[in-house]
Amino acid sequence: MPELLHITERSLWDAARATGTYEMSTRGRTLQEEGFIHCSTRAQLPRVAAFLYGSYSGPDDLVVLVIDPERLGVPVRYEASEAGGEEFPHVYGAIPVAAVTAVEPGAPL
């Protein structure tokens, strides 16, 4: 399975490193609220970044988590928000810090 990517605020990633797991689904929504963590492929990343963070005032405070799905220990499902739509990877559980193989600065806005 190819790497998964997730854009987040540096402060949220720092907090996850302290607790051992990352539990934000998307901008302003937690795993508990959403039921899964939104991710993207490398090809989807620029569109996701523009959609979620295009108006974000601190793009230098963003990071891209590179996640190894083999290290997750929870299901990953590729799903579309509407029938016939583009499928995005969703992680159905918390992301262990050990599953993050790299942290890339910024976001491709």
Rounded to two decimals, the pTM is 0.92
Report the pLDDT value the prediction gives residue 24, as an integer from 0 to 100: 97
Q: Closest by alpha carbon to 69, among 48, 46, 91?
A: 91
Contact 9, 64 (CB under 8 A): no
Token look-up 């739509």 returns 85
Q: Using one digit for the tens of pLDDT, what is the confidence trace for 37-62?
A: 999 999 999 999 888 888 776 656 89
Token pair belonging to 100: 């993050």
Measured CA to CA, the distance from residue 89 to residue 95 in angstroms comes to 13
Walk me through the domains of the chain, giving residue ranges and CATH numbers.
4-105 (3.20.170.20)
